[in-house]
Structure 1
Amino acid sequence: MRYWINVSIFIALSVTLIALVSIWHRNRPVEFPQTVEVRPFGEFQDGIYTGTEGYAVVQIEINDGKILSAKVLQNKPGSYSKSAEAVIDRVIDAQSLEVDMITGATATSRVIVDAIRNALKITE
């Protein structure tokens, strides 16, 4: 008899937990990629620009109005930070700051894009 009571309690708790997770999943806020001002990079002089935002320091190389390369000189340690650095490839490919942020590292991706914006002195 005691076994069946324990099994019943376990089943009731499991069903309750599943219901709560389901409700949370349906009602959680949806995070959309941040859109930023689109501005052609052709307006910038050739050269190397350095920008900071919070803990990130980024170096951008512009040639013929295009971003040739970009690298993160300083970032906070952690796996999210390394993942977020992939946003630089998106900026170079799109030649725009209007790119999707890296899923799972959204905040750090925004910091890196803001550092690029600061390097190029782009205001929103």
Structure 2
Amino acid sequence: MKKRRNVIITLILVVVVGAVVGKITFNNIAAAHQRLLDERIPSVLLSGIPDGTYMGSYSAFPVLAEVKVTVKAQTITDIELVKHRNGQGEWAEAILVKVVASQSLDVDVIAGATISSRVILRAIGKALER
């Protein structure tokens, strides 16, 4: 009887600790995503960027993006998504075409992939701020 009671108490403690850790983790992720949504994506002046290929990365758990941006004659000629770890934001990869077409990071995010879109834009910005 005593052994059964100890097992039940242990299980209850494990569930409670798991719930607390899960709640803290969820709150931290939600806060990080809200900061990402609230931050303004900085503009990039292509006139000051020499020709070359630039690497950049950005992450907001669970989303990560690594990009390779090619600049020639003060124009973004190509953006390669080297790595994109996404939750459900695979559609955000379409934002690369928008950035090249507009030559700006001031583009609309992809609906349904807002966090991934903003992470990719921040990675491009990091590549070009060097």
TM over 0.5: yes
Aligned to 2:126: 118
The question of whether the paired residues in 2 share the 8 Å contact of 1:49 and 1:120 is answered with yes
| Superposed displacement of residue 35, structure 1 | 5.5
- How far residue 41 of structure 1 moved from its aligned partner, in angstroms, is 1.1
Q: Which runs of 4+ in 1 moved over 2 A?
A: 34-40
The one-letter amino acid of 1:58's match is V
For residues 66 and 115 of structure 1, do their structure 2 counterparts lie closer, same or farther at Cα, with a shift above 3 Å needed? Answer: same
Q: Which moved more, 1:38-47 or 1:86-95?
A: 38-47
Q: Please, which runs of 5 or more residues in structure 1 have no aligned partner?
A: 1-31
* Cross-structure match for 1:93: 101
Deviations 1:32-74 (A, max 9, x none): 9x86343431210000000000121000000000000001100
Equivalent residues of 1:59, 1:72 under 8 A apart: yes
Please, what TM-score do these two structures have when normalized by structure 1?
Answer: 0.65
Name the counterpart of 1:10.
none
Q: Could you list the runs of 5+ residues in structure 2 that have no partner in the other structure?
A: 1-36
* Residue in 2 that maps onto 1:59: 68
For residue 106 of structure 1, what is the aligned residue in structure 2? Answer: 114
> 1:17-96 to 2 correspondence within 5 Å?
36-54=41-59, 55-77=64-86, 80-96=88-104
Question: What is the RMSD of the two structures over their aligned residues, measured on CA atoms?
Answer: 2.2
Q: For the Cα contact (< 8 Å) 1:40–1:95, is it kept in 2?
A: no
Does the CA-based 8 Å contact 2:41-2:122 persist in structure 1? Answer: no
Q: Decide which structure has the larger Cα Rg and report it.
A: 1
* Aligned counterparts of 2:121 and 2:44: Cα–Cα separation in 1: 14
- The structure richer in helix per residue is 2
Q: Is the 8 A contact 2:89 2:115 kept in 1?
A: no
CA distance, structure 1, for counterparts of residue 89 and residue 50 of structure 2:
30
How many pairs were matched up?
90
